[in-house]
Amino acid sequence: MWESSIYRFEEEVTDKKGKIVKKPFYINVTYSGPRNLPDPGKALKAVFDKMTQGLVPKETHILDVGAAKLRNTLWLLEKGFNVWAVEFPELRDRLKDAKEKWKMAEGYDNFHNVTFPQDFIKLNKKFDIIILINEINVMPIPLERFAMLSLCRQKIKDNGMLLWHQWRGYAIGQDKYSEENEFIDGYLMGQGPNHTFYTEHERDESHEILYSVGFEFDENMNLHKLPANSCYSYIFRPSHINIIKNALNLKEMIKTKKDPKKIIKDVETVTVLDLYMKELEDIKKGREDAHRYHLLASRIFFEIFREQINKPIIENEINEGRGRIDIVHRNRNKEGVFKNLKDLRDIKCPEIMVECKNYENDLTNTEYSQLSDRLIPARGMLGFLLCRNKKDESKIIKHCRDRHKGGSNKYIVVLDDADLIKLAEYRKNDNIEAINNFVEDFVKKIID
């Protein structure tokens, strides 16, 4: 992986004789670096100032991934920060001004040159700050983006910060992006022979990508007013384990050597939800992987119903801290199944309660009662039990009816792996109606 900065592909074209032939073309990721930017610029300087406020420069270690011509590295070095700059050596050696900047940086005692990818992968150090500036969005292979972020997760301190800063190309230059230059999940840029690649991740998408590998958005470090309209910045903190670790199989990816001279074919346009579902299929049942399943199932549920609910609050305390609910979502009251259930069936659900059970055996009366006891009108009367396998559907419906009967009007919906996979497929195909019908059909079984 990453044996070369040049990615070789091919396309079908018509030659002079009218015959369709395959013609090679190239993406060189080092050509994505900005050409004539002497320093970070006003927007990034403001971001750096806010990020490093209160930090002692000589005690702060920064990893600049995709350092290019060192416009950010040199500015940080001048401020006294210790900077490890990561880049393909090709960029430094090819461009005269880049070579000059790298030579200038070597004059600083607080500068460290990290050759990509070998030195970067082997780098066994934890950093206070990792900066990713227009880095992930120029990588043409989706799985490699997740690999890069997973490596960053390994190399950050527990209280560290990761900066995700991205150019907003679509917003200010839509005429550059059309069906003619669509490629994989982004666009080919430039006339060649070395093209560049560009894709853009919306706010929610970028946040979920980072969450999948173990980071969470820091709402207290709101930078939305600092960047210019042409870019945006987010700060993420390491908060949990890499949820997609098994699905990504990072160790195997790193060990797999690709011949840079060979044409790359059949690139997988993998999404976060794809990796979540792959992880779900691999995760073991039982206590050992309960925490991983808890995190994973909660994110799958959130992705399926994203427009209708707010992000999950994990292990939410209730009854003044004397009890806990695995996950709570606030109902956004937007179009969809939860609004339908409220409006059409008078099911109170200002909050949606979710419990995750990574059990090998069937759910018992205890699990149903545990969730049922937490359903009250003030919080909500709709809860979900996520489990691994619904072996006896009729028995499950009976348990759910028991909690509903007698006028309690409590509704428990049970979803197993197969249900989540089906709902995720609906979600990927934007079949929201099918998602709504699936849940409403289960509720109807409880009532009938």
pLDDT in tens, 348-367: 999 999 999 999 988 999 99
Tell me the pLDDT of the chain averaged across its residues: 91
Cβ atoms of residues 91 and 115 within 8 Å: no
Q: Give the separation between CA 168 and CA 171, rounded to whole angstroms.
A: 6
The average pLDDT across 318-331 equals 64
pTM as predicted: 0.92
Mean pLDDT of 189-196: 84
CB atoms within 10 A of CB 417: 20
pLDDT attached to residue 41 = 84
Pairing state of beta strands 411-415 and 194-198? Answer: unpaired
Structure tokens at 49: 């100032």
Residues recorded for the chain? 448
pLDDT of residue 127: 98
Say which amino acid occupies 130.
I
pLDDT reported for residue 39:
84
Q: CA-CA distance, 38 to 32, in Å (whole number)? A: 16
Closest CA to 116 of 186, 156, 63, 38: 63
Q: Would you say 346 and 382 are in contact if contact means Cβ atoms under 8 Å apart?
A: no
Question: In whole angstroms, what is the distance from residue 266 CA to residue 60 CA?
Answer: 42
Mean per-residue pLDDT, 133-149: 96
Report how far apart, in Å, the C-alpha atoms of 389 and of each of 355, 393, 412, 436 are.
Answer: 14, 10, 16, 21
What is the strand order of the sheet 411-415 is part of? Answer: 313-318, 323-330, 351-356, 382-386, 411-415
pLDDT digit string, tens, across residues 54-68: 999 999 999 999 999
DSSP at 227? S
The closest of 160, 134, 150 to 44, measured between CA atoms, is: 134
Which neighbouring-strand residues pair with 186? 183
CATH 3.40.91 residue ranges of the chain are: 284-447
Tokens 């990504």 map to which residue?
248
Enter the tokens of residue 239: 């908060």
CATH 3.40.50.150 in the chain, residue ranges = 31-275
Q: Give pLDDT, residue 317.
A: 47
Supply the pLDDT for residue 200: 92
pLDDT value of position 318 = 42
According to the model, what pLDDT value does residue 12 have? 80
Work out the pLDDT band at 227, boundaries 50, 70, 90: low
- Average pLDDT on 252-275 reads 91
pLDDT digits (tens, 9 = 90+) for 266-294: 898 999 999 999 999 999 999 999 999 99
Answer yes or no: is pLDDT of 323 > 70. Answer: no
| Angle, CA 160 vertex, CA 155 and CA 161 arms, to 5° | 100
Contacts of 299 (CB under 8 A, 6+ apart): 208, 211, 212, 243, 276, 312
Over range 287-314, report the average pLDDT: 92
Residue 320: pLDDT band with limits 50, 70, 90: very low
Distances (CA, A) of 367 to 66, 150, 299, 374, 384: 49, 35, 21, 11, 11
CA distance linking residue 375 with residue 360, whole number of Å: 25
Q: Are 63 and 173 in contact (CB under 8 A)?
A: no
**CA dihedral (210, 215, 218, 221) positive or negative:** negative
In 3D space, the residue among 92, 71, 74, 96 whose CA is nearest the CA of residue 83 turns out to be: 74
Superfamily (CATH) of domain 31-275:
Vaccinia Virus protein VP39 (3.40.50.150)
Answer whether residue 35 shows pLDDT above 90: no
Q: Which residue has the higher pLDDT, 97 or 125?
A: 125
Mean pLDDT of 384-403: 93
In CATH terms, is domain 284-447 a member of 3.40.50? Answer: no
pLDDT in tens, 174-187: 788 888 899 999 99
Q: With pLDDT > 70 as the criterion, what percentage of the chain qualifies? A: 96
Q: What beta strand segments (E) does 208-312 contain?
A: 215-217, 231-238
**pLDDT of amino acid 319:** 42
Do you find a cis peptide bond into 193, omega within 30 degrees of 0? yes
